[in-house]
Structure 1
Amino acid sequence: MSEFVLMTDSSADLSQEMVQELGVTVLPLSFTIQGKVYRNYPDNREMDLPLFYDMLRAGELATTSAVNVAEYTQAVEPILQEKKDVLILAFSSGLSSTYQASVLAAEELREKYPDRKIYTVDTLCASLGQGLLVYLAVQEQRKGRSIEEVRDWAESTKLHLCHQFTVDDLHFLKRGGRISATTAVVGSMLQIKPVLHVDNEGRLINIGKARGRQASLKALVDKMEKTVTEEGKKTVFISHGDCRKDAVAVADMVRERFGTQDIRINYVGPVIGAHSGPGTLALFYLGTER
């Protein structure tokens, strides 16, 4: 069985420690703030994340850009030259063109390296939801599964990867066209916090609301209780927009309610955070359905 490398992009929000633990390759996506372009590496070498969120709080606008075909080709080709195959688990096509770029790069490289296998999966996931799918795919790889078996596992599992999240500042969602200006203003006045998820098309969808921050955090765990599987209770990922205290509070609720031992917490990176803003809190687990 030929060796293969799992590749993803930095919208998976995996920490540098987790990237090293898993042995995956991560392509950095780019973001622009104050007129300067930065690459979003897992070790955050180009931008300190607390600083990034402080800039957003101060009113700076951040924009993001997907990985392009050339960047994918440059990252994948050296692996193929080492006679290894590549499985790409890409950022949701419902939120970015990154997946499409991976498809085009794979098509080009298959012609150049006909003996190598290059597969790409549209995870329909984002942030640590994508990260959790990558993490679980590595566990399958370590069982000795073939590249096709891990690809098929990812395809059959991705719509069970549940994303429940809330935001603290509605104006970031308004700017991204997720909610209307009126909803943002009224919601902010009344301290109404949306509860959202990522649907089966990989898009952000509003599925509820809660009055106040604490109620919105509890609502995430309540949603989890309705769909989480026994397997899903074992490993849970939580990402946050520079609000670690809230992430720890949600982790404590999950641990108390479901007995979960393996809970990983990391930042929502700049690629997602530019659109969701400071105070974003997201909960990821395997469930019966999204």
Structure 2
Amino acid sequence: MKIKIITDSNCELSKEYIIENHVHVIPFYFQLGGIEYKDNFGSEVSYKEFYNRLRNGEMSTTTQITPFIFEEIFNEYINEGYDVIYLGFSSALSETFNCAQIARNSILSRNSDANITVFDTRSASSGQGLIVFKVIEMLNMGRTKEEIIDNLKILRMNLNSWFIVDNLEHLKRGGRISATNAAFGKIMEIKPILKLDYEGKIVASDKVRGRKKSIKALFDKFENNAFDNEIQTVFIHHADCLKDAESLKMMITRCNKVKEVIINEMGPIIGSHTGPGSIAIAFLGNQK
């Protein structure tokens, strides 16, 4: 049976990778300057322009993917004879995953033979991208759908997804931290080290002072938690701060023999909530 992998644009994988591996990416939408844009690999608003506009004080808002869109896309592949696996953005951060479930249930109510799995990655950005990457690896190895789903559950438990932000203002706007904490953090140059926990929620792990120390803290998380480094593929995603992402990559490769470190750009959906200068890292490890 043919298997189709579907995800959403919060996986932030490169366009080249998506095309090469025949992954269907459903775009989110965002509003900037009163205009709605599709999150489509920076084709409508480049990542550089997006983050520069945020730096200049513009605000971006995002919208979830509707059940109608999911149902339309799921049906397209079911009608072509595919089994479907949707790897979704964390349900703890958006109602989008629930919309995918609604679409699946709607299709099954009319077609009980449709084979659709909607899987909550409980992650985003680099973490969601790494899960999609690992599933494609399994698919290319000839694994069955059942084997892929079983392995996905283990992957999700071992996924470490950490990130930092450069400016707390965007977390304040999203209700992640209070206005008082944001103001205090700005004055004191406090940088929280954030992670997605086992439920896919954003929680603060540690706090450091200064940008360089926050980047070093991401390296420390890898150094302390990663296992099987020789076969690790590490994902680093950045919000228009490539040099810092490359610095983090260098720290990892200088001290560890890893299979690969992949750097991708952080898209406007996640970037709307974290702001320019954010960096996310994902790898497999002992604890989140």
Tell me which interval the TM-score lies in, with the shorter structure as reference length: over 0.9
Name the counterpart of 2:216.
218
Work out whether 1:45 is the aligned partner of 2:53. no
Give 2:57's aligned residue.
59
Match for residue 239 of structure 1?
Answer: 237
Which residue of structure 2 aligns with residue 77 of structure 1? 75
CA distance in 2, matches of 1:114, 1:174: 45
Report the 3-state secondary structure (helix = DSSP H, G, I; strand = E; otherwise coil) of the residue aligned with 1:150: helix
Kindly indicate whether the alpha-carbon contact (under 8 Å) linking 1:83 and 1:116 is maintained by their aligned counterparts in 2: no
Kept in 2, the 8 Å contact 1:232–1:287? The answer is: no
1:287 positional shift:
0.7
Distance 1:277 1:152, change over 3 A: same
- What amino acid is aligned across from residue 148 of structure 2 in structure 1? V
Question: How big is each residue's C-alpha offset from its partner over 1:90-116, in whole Å with a ceiling of 9 and x where there is no partner?
Answer: 000010111101111111112333333
Name the residue aligned to 1:101. 99
Q: Say if 1:236 and 1:285, in contact at 8 Å, map to a contact too.
A: yes
Report the equivalent of 1:143. 141
Q: Give, in whole Å, the separation in 1 of the partners of 2:183 and 2:72.
A: 45
**Contact 2:229-2:257 within 8 A present in 1 as well:** no
Aligned match of 1:203: 201
In structure 1, the partner of 2:251 is 253
**Unaligned 5+ residue runs, structure 1?**
none
Shift of 1:260: 2.0
Post-superposition Cα deviations, 1:96-148, rounded to whole Å, max 9, x if no partner, equal 11110111111111233333310110110101210100100111111211112
- Residue type of the alignment partner of 2:191: K
Is 1:183 matched up with 2:203? no
* Counterpart residue number, 1:287: 285
TM-score, length-normalised on structure 1? 0.96
Kindly provide the amino acid, as one letter, of the partner of residue 210 in structure 2: G
1:27 maps to what in 2? 26
Q: Secondary structure at the match of 1:174?
A: helix
| 2:112 equivalent in structure 1 | 114
Q: What SS does structure 2 have at the residue aligned with 1:263?
A: strand
Q: Is the 8 A contact 1:80 1:113 kept in 2?
A: no
> Is the CA contact (8 Å cut-off) linking 1:232 and 1:286 kept in structure 2?
no
Determine the C-alpha separation between the residues in 1 that align with 2:12 and 2:211: 23
How far residue 232 of structure 1 moved from its aligned partner, in angstroms, is 7.7
Q: Please, what is the CA RMSD of the aligned residues?
A: 1.3
Residues 160-198 of structure 1 deviation map (CA, whole Å, 9 limit, x = unaligned): 111111111011111111111121111111111111100
- Report the equivalent of 1:266: 264
Alpha-carbon distance in 2 for matches of 1:47, 1:151: 35
- Work out the CA distance in 2 between the residues paired with 1:145 and 1:111: 28
* Bigger Cα displacement from structure 2, 180-189 vs 45-54: 180-189
* Map of 1:227 onto structure 2: 225
Task: Say which is worse superposed, 139-148 or 164-173, in terms of deviation.
Answer: 139-148
Aligned-pair distance for 1:231?
5.1
After TM superposition, the score normalised by the length of structure 2 is: 0.97
Which 4+ stretches in 1 moved above 4 angstroms?
none
**How many aligned residue pairs are there?**
288
- Per-residue CA deviations over 1:195-232 (Å, capped at 9, x if unaligned) read 11001110111111111101100011111112111158
For residues 157 and 196 of structure 1, the distance between their equivalents in structure 2, rounded to whole angstroms, comes to: 20
Q: Distance in 2 between matches of 1:88 and 1:225?
A: 31
After superposition, give the CA deviation of every residue in 1:229-288 in whole Å (9 maximum; x if it has no partner): 115862000001100000000000111122224111111111100000000011110111
- Aligned amino acid, residue 35 of structure 2: K
- 1:12 is aligned to 11
